[in-house]
Structure 1
Amino acid sequence: MDLDTALDEAKLAINFFFNNKFEDARNLMKPWSHCSMYHSVGSSVFSFMEAMLTFEQQHIQAASESLKLCLSVCNRFRKKNTITEAIGKTFTKPNYETYTDVEAHAELCYAEALLLEAMLTFIEDETLTSLIKGGMKIRQCFNSYKGCAAILNQLHWSSESSKLHFESGVRMGMGTFNLMISLLPGRVIKLLEFLGFSGNKQMGMRDLVTGYRMAGIRQVLCVMTLLGYHLVVCHVLSHQEGNLQFCDEILREQMKLYPEGVWFLFFKARLEFLKGNLDDAQMWYKKSWKSQTVWPQFHDICFWELLWVNCLKLEWRESSLYASYLLEKSKWSRTIYLYQKAAVLLMLGDGLTSSERSSIDGLIREAPLNKQRIAGKSLPMEKFICKKSERYFAQNKTLVLPAIELMYLWNIFKILGKKFDLANGIFRIIERTIKELKAKKEVSKYDADNKALTLLLKGACLRQMNSPLQALECLESVIALQSEIKDDTYLVPYAVVETGLIYADQGRKEEAIAALENAKKNYSRYSLESRLHFRIHTGLTELKGNSNDG
């Protein structure tokens, strides 16, 4: 099969895929996957997605075999070097002008397959060896993309169409690498730079937007990366907001092309969620969930979001319904799902039935038993939940504002600032809990922890309600409790960061930087530390105006 026909069929398969015609897309790619690089990459992507969504060993194995075949097919089309050229390549840069269009595309497809294989390595075998192996493959992939960027500029292309499709892949690959590396904390970036990686946010964003504006075959992948960054990554890993207006523009265009596409319905829902339009968000999430049944694992993503939409609406029983769906259907983290369901039910307080109370005990007792280890390490949120599960029984089967604490830790408080009613609803619950704790006569060794938690949540909520002075008062009280806190040592550094962000909101730049640097350098070994370091990094980058990795 010639390159132009392969590109046309790959483009058709992408159209099928994003319109939920998954089997049509797979059937178009599969028959030629042993001899056409684009069909082989396409077929591997479907196997890879199935493995990532199901986490089932047979699908992981099938994806691994598909990717080995894909790399072998790509190698057949890559430029062959003579022994003299191979030796020369060690000391000089390759002469990309001598490449054909087919050889150039083979390099690009090879880089893409390497990236998928590296990511699969991380879930295939959760050992340190696999982690190192995966890291080396990602480095090889990054170098392949850098080679492709050089090919784009040096090759005398025989077809403009071929160049366009190649360029969209280079923009997507280099853009994604630059963007994602730039988000990592400084100490990680230094290590990656030593290993040959580099990350420049502006350059990455520019490449992705250019790829989105082009009509290349990977245009929709640039779109997915941009939407994922602005609507998910920005929200979870930083205190900043993505460019929602730009996402609105992208989604209007894409939803004309893929009106029933599960991914674009999901991103539309996510956009409304971040705007604080909870009823609209709920409607679009349900549309996304019900738009296809071929891959039910897609539904779990919507269930996760609907859980939090209903928490913000204070619809605790409805939220617990989606927590139950996740518990029944998803294989990602049973520990998190068990605890989340219990946390949501606990918000019902005196409204709990006796059977619900009994089920909470069972959920929290079971949560630590399902803790996973990846490369010998526990997941930070699972470790946090294990501590909270112990605490539940140590505190006479009670926890303070457990679902609101999770909302804060998943960075959902940012949405409170969009609508006063949302923030006010959460604020009233926090205030009521503070009064109840003050009225409590029994003394517990966790009194300082519980008081500090309610004050951190109150301060963070007040920040979103644009009441900085009251917020600072609460946060300073949390910091003052440092020596009395027994368990929840994370509360103090998180309060210090919130303080820094309030200073940043007020334009007190030097004080903001000092607070964030304080949290970064003077606190360690607390729960969810790396999560906070991501937010510190993005905050400092913005405040210092560092254009290289900001």
Structure 2
Amino acid sequence: MYHALGYSAIVFIKATMTLDTQDVERAMRVSKDAAAVIDAYRTKFSISDSFYRLSGQMRALTDQELHAELCYAESLLFCSILTFLHDESLSSFVRGALKIRACYQSYRECGRLLKSEIWGGRDWRIKAQFESGTHLGVGTFNLLLSTLPTKILRLLEVVGFSGDKDIGMFELQECTSMTGTLRATLCSLVLLSWHLIAEFLVGAANPDIDICQKLLSPLNNSYPQGAIVLFFRARLNIVMGKIDPGIYFFNKSIDVQDVYRQFHHICFWELLYVFPNTFVMAKWLFFVINSALSCESIDFDNVYIFCDLVSIPRTALQVVVDVFPILF
């Protein structure tokens, strides 16, 4: 069950990084297979069981059945996101929305199970792993839904969704405090993404620096050469106004891995706005234009080239014209 979920997570990450059609289709197949495998381990409730659950009581479930419910919610989340990436049609949007709703309902069911009295006599590690996953799912959903406009959120509440930022932050912080669990590290990355990226896009641009430093410290000790960790270290330094360390860690994040070239684009995009001199800007231009011409970023090659040309100083423009005449 966890093997199927882990494998689907790996191919999901690759698909979201490359956005290649073949990678997305492969990830969809693997995620659907994983969901089918996990669903076989889930408990099947009868009508009488449903009424029993409505009364606030829960039928005794095995450890395997409990974790199957959590893993199923996570696999549905992979499937729903991949559905949006694979096809932009209205029917695909509806299918993805229905899968997200099913995923949300599964996480809510996990929350009810966590608050029930079925945990007596079980190994504490079984509950800890289940609890951290539930906190991660419920917290992430609340945090994301809280960013929607009030009118849309009220409309979604009619079909069973709800979003509260305070609840979301509390749930995620509870998960990060459960060190040693499988999903604690992922939860730390979610919080860092919120404070260092999303806060400037959909929030009030007021990240909690203390929390970011607290989260990054153990990650840096465990994964000092991790590209994602180095990226967040760079973002934290930039947010704190430390430009030179930020540039250093962005470049280091680029240098430590060469598998997901698309992740380099994210770093170079950030570097565009912090490079202080023409020489390093020229280095950025060389990579971006070369990447566009080699079709590493098929969807954004024209955007990159446009940004290149409007960003460089007039004195450096002639150099670019001479080196890359095909662009002109």
Q: Under a length normalisation based on structure 2, what TM-score does the superposition of the two structures give?
A: 0.90
Distance (Å, rounded) in 2 between the aligned partners of 1:192 and 1:314: 48
Contact kept, 8 Å, 2:230 with 2:253, in 1: the verdict is yes
Within 5 Å, give how 1:50-69 maps onto structure 2.
50-69=14-33
Distance (Å, rounded) in 1 between the aligned partners of 2:156 and 2:322: 48
Across the two proteins, how many residue pairs are aligned to each other? 321
Contact kept, 8 Å, 1:171 with 1:210, in 2: the verdict is yes
Residues 1:243 and 2:208 are matched in the alignment: yes
Instruction: Give the residue type in structure 2 aligned to 1:295.
Output: Y
SS at match of 1:96: coil
Contact kept, 8 Å, 1:44 with 1:66, in 2: the verdict is yes
Residues 1:173 and 2:137 are matched in the alignment: yes
Offset at 1:71? Answer: 0.8
SS at match of 2:190: helix
2:116 paired residue number: 154
Instruction: Give the residue type in structure 1 aligned to 2:103.
Output: C
Distance 1:149 1:325, change over 3 A: farther
Q: Could you tell me which of 149, 172, 194 is aligned with 1:229?
A: 194
Distance (Å, rounded) in 2 between the aligned partners of 1:291 and 1:359: 28
Offset at 1:129? Answer: 0.9
2:149 paired residue number: 185
Distance (Å, rounded) in 1 between the aligned partners of 2:241 and 2:158: 42
Q: Could you tell me which of 169, 188, 211 is aligned with 1:205?
A: 169
Compare 275-284 and 298-307 and name the one that shifted more. Answer: 298-307
SS at match of 1:353: helix
Q: Percent identity?
A: 34
Distance 1:141 1:360, change over 3 A: farther
Distance (Å, rounded) in 1 between the aligned partners of 2:324 and 2:251: 27
SS at match of 1:333: helix
Contact kept, 8 Å, 1:342 with 1:360, in 2: the verdict is no
2:306 paired residue number: 339
Instruction: Give the residue type in structure 2 aligned to 1:224.
Output: L
Offset at 1:93? Answer: 5.9
Instruction: Give the residue type in structure 2 aligned to 1:303.
Output: F
Distance (Å, rounded) in 2 between the aligned partners of 1:83 and 1:184: 35
Residues 1:349 and 2:314 are matched in the alignment: yes
Distance 1:64 1:253, change over 3 A: same
Contact kept, 8 Å, 1:304 with 1:322, in 2: the verdict is no
Distance (Å, rounded) in 1 between the aligned partners of 2:274 and 2:130: 40
Instruction: Give the residue type in structure 1 aligned to 2:159.
Output: L
SS at match of 1:78: coil
Contact kept, 8 Å, 2:18 with 2:260, in 1: the verdict is no
Contact kept, 8 Å, 1:114 with 1:138, in 2: the verdict is yes
Q: Could you tell me which of 126, 130, 143 is aligned with 2:88?
A: 126
Contact kept, 8 Å, 1:98 with 1:155, in 2: the verdict is no
For 1:131-159, what per-residue CA distance to the aligned partner results, in whole angstroms no more than 9, with x for missing partners?
11111111111111000000111142221
Instruction: Give the residue type in structure 2 aligned to 1:320.
Output: L
* Structure 2 segments unaligned to the other structure (5+ residues): none
Distance 1:354 1:331, change over 3 A: closer
For 1:198-257, what per-residue CA distance to the aligned partner results, in whole angstroms no more than 9, with x for missing partners?
111111001111100102211011101000000010022234221122111211121111
Contact kept, 8 Å, 2:107 with 2:138, in 1: the verdict is yes
Distance (Å, rounded) in 1 between the aligned partners of 2:320 and 2:169: 52
Distance (Å, rounded) in 1 between the aligned partners of 2:264 and 2:9: 19
Distance (Å, rounded) in 2 between the aligned partners of 1:337 and 1:94: 56
For 1:503-526, what per-residue CA distance to the aligned partner results, in whole angstroms no more than 9, with x for missing partners?
xxxxxxxxxxxxxxxxxxxxxxxx
Distance (Å, rounded) in 2 between the aligned partners of 1:326 and 1:155: 56
Q: Under a length normalisation based on structure 1, what TM-score does the superposition of the two structures give?
A: 0.55
SS at match of 2:161: coil
Distance 1:189 1:320, change over 3 A: same
1:435 paired residue number: none
Contact kept, 8 Å, 1:121 with 1:133, in 2: the verdict is yes
Distance (Å, rounded) in 2 between the aligned partners of 1:187 and 1:144: 25
1:305 paired residue number: 270
Instruction: Give the residue type in structure 1 aligned to 2:243.
Output: L
Within 5 Å, give how 1:29-108 maps onto structure 2.
37-82=1-46, 84-85=48-49, 88=51, 92=54, 95-108=57-70
Distance (Å, rounded) in 2 between the aligned partners of 1:335 and 1:191: 38
Contact kept, 8 Å, 2:268 with 2:284, in 1: the verdict is no
Distance (Å, rounded) in 2 between the aligned partners of 1:273 and 1:243: 14
Offset at 1:354? Answer: 7.7
Instruction: Give the residue type in structure 2 aligned to 1:149.
Output: G
SS at match of 1:259: coil
Distance 1:125 1:253, change over 3 A: same
Contact kept, 8 Å, 1:307 with 1:320, in 2: the verdict is no
Contact kept, 8 Å, 2:18 with 2:262, in 1: the verdict is yes
Distance (Å, rounded) in 2 between the aligned partners of 1:322 and 1:239: 33
Distance (Å, rounded) in 2 between the aligned partners of 1:76 and 1:99: 14
Residues 1:275 and 2:237 are matched in the alignment: no
Q: Which runs of 4+ in 1 moved over 4 A?
A: 357-363
Distance (Å, rounded) in 2 between the aligned partners of 1:239 and 1:361: 43
CA RMSD for the aligned pairs? Answer: 2.4
Compare 327-336 and 275-284 and name the one that shifted more. Answer: 327-336
Instruction: Give the residue type in structure 2 aligned to 1:56.
Output: D
* Structure 1 segments unaligned to the other structure (5+ residues): 1-36, 364-550
Contact kept, 8 Å, 2:309 with 2:317, in 1: the verdict is no
Distance (Å, rounded) in 2 between the aligned partners of 1:94 and 1:73: 29
Offset at 1:360? Answer: 9.6
2:106 paired residue number: 144
Distance (Å, rounded) in 2 between the aligned partners of 1:153 and 1:238: 31
Distance (Å, rounded) in 1 between the aligned partners of 2:138 and 2:319: 56
Distance (Å, rounded) in 2 between the aligned partners of 1:125 and 1:282: 36
Contact kept, 8 Å, 1:122 with 1:134, in 2: the verdict is yes
Residues 1:295 and 2:260 are matched in the alignment: yes
